[in-house]
């Protein structure tokens, strides 16, 4: 039941990012006030989910290349936000002095509004959602050549680089954006990053409205990258779950078919490796799109912003918090109480980490998610 629940919620990740992608595309185009706005957003969400499934179902390697390109672009966005903050410090942009702009009175922050315990827990879930993508590579570790050598240091370095960039970007927000505008009740359509672009690039003549639209376009591309990678990983999770006999229609969902498109793209950089036929989990991709479409349509009566928030909370609480709590304490059980000699297997796996470090990390991880 737990594995099936995880399978279902992972599909919701694509649905919510598809909805956010639709919202941001309309914002970037300046069409946020068009008639039937919510219906158009849901149509875009369904279209992008289908496009991602079609890409991975016909050209597996192409989906991987597109994901890598979008990942580089997303890192570029994080660097750009930090650079804009540093340019503001250096006086490149006119400072957004509080007495020079129409600011609302300072309101209570989230922690003051909801109470300390709940406010911190809610903030913790948001942080987990932002950093949660680091675990996606584990879902497809079987498709990595020599994973012990190729996965360990890239995984650690990727998490470290993104963590540092997030911290630097938050510093840029505090430097540029007036404190009052950190309250989301000021304008629900704009977040702190929108205000950073507004008070840097937007201070140039003619760019006051275009700068927030530029950020919406950037974040829409970021959402697209998330949809591409989640479609790739989640489909393989469903396929493995079907192989265990947990899902119905096991034979169809657990099977693979040969991709119909073979493009020798490696020859562009002189590789002599042959482009072989690729196996794609077509049944799992069909399930992936079907449930994503159900989640998008089942929330039709809600506003799209409310739908996105609901699906984010559902995903963060279920996948990132509940399952992670079981995972953290499960690691402690395996190390200290299991009869399967987990400690020896862990040491011999190539990740030679002292037992006390492993135990402390598992305890902190489980306890934090229980909170």
The one-digit pLDDT tens for each residue of the chain (371 residues) are 555 555 555 557 788 899 999 999 999 998 888 888 999 999 999 999 999 999 988 888 888 889 899 999 999 999 999 999 998 888 887 665 443 455 555 555 544 555 677 778 878 888 877 777 777 777 788 777 777 777 878 888 888 998 899 999 999 998 888 877 776 666 667 788 888 898 888 887 778 888 889 999 999 999 999 899 889 888 888 888 888 887 788 888 888 888 766 676 666 666 666 666 678 888 989 988 998 898 888 888 888 888 888 888 888 888 778 888 988 999 888 888 877 777 777 777 766 778 788 889 899 989 988 88
Beta bridge partners of 31: none
pLDDT score for 8: 54
CA distances 270 to 262, 265, 275, Å, are: 17, 10, 13
pLDDT score for 81: 93
pTM attached to this predicted model: 0.82
Residue 268 CA to residue 105 CA, distance in Å, equals 57
pLDDT score for 3: 57
């Amino acid at each position: 039941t737990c594995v099936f629940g995880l399978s279902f919620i992972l599909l919701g990740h694509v649905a919510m990012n598809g909805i956010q992608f639709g919202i941001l595309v309309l914002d970037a185009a300046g069409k946020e006030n068009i008639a039937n706005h919510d219906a158009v957003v849901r149509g875009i969400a369904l279209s992008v989910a289908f496009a991602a499934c079609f890409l991975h179902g016909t050209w597996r390697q192409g989906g991987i290349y597109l994901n890598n390109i979008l990942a580089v672009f997303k890192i570029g966005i994080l660097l750009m936000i930090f650079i804009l903050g540093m340019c503001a410090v250096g006086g490149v942009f006119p400072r957004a002095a509080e007495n020079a702009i129409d600011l609302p009175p300072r309101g209570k922050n989230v922690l003051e509004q909801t109470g300390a315990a709940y406010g911190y827990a809610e903030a913790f879930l948001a942080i987990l959602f932002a950093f949660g993508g680091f675990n996606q590579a584990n879902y497809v570790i079987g498709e990595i050549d020599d994973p012990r050598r190729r996965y360990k240091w890239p995984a650690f370095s990727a998490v470290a680089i993104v963590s540092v960039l997030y911290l630097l970007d938050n510093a840029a927000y505090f430097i540029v954006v007036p404190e009052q505008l950190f309250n989301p009740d000021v304008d629900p359509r704009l977040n702190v990053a929108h205000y950073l672009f507004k008070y840097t690039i937007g201070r140039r003549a003619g760019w006051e409205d275009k700068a927030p639209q530029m950020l919406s376009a950037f974040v829409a591309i970021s959402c697209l990258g998330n949809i591409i990678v989640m479609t790739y990983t989640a489909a393989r999770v469903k396929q493995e779950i079907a192989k265990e006999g947990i899902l119905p229609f096991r034979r169809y969902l657990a099977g693979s078919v040969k991709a119909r498109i073979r493009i020798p793209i490696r020859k562009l950089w002189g590789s002599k490796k042959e482009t072989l036929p690729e196996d794609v989990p077509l049944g799992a991709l069909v399930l992936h799109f079907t449930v994503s479409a159900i989640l998008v349509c089942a929330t039709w009566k809600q506003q799209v912003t409310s739908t996105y928030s609901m699906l984010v909370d559902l995903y963060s609480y279920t996948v990132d918090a509940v399952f992670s709590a079981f995972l953290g304490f499960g690691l402690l059980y395996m190390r200290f109480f299991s009869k399967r000699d987990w400690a020896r297997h862990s040491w011999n796996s190539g990740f030679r980490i002292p037992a006390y470090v492993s135990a402390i990390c598992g305890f902190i991880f489980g306890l934090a998610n229980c909170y």
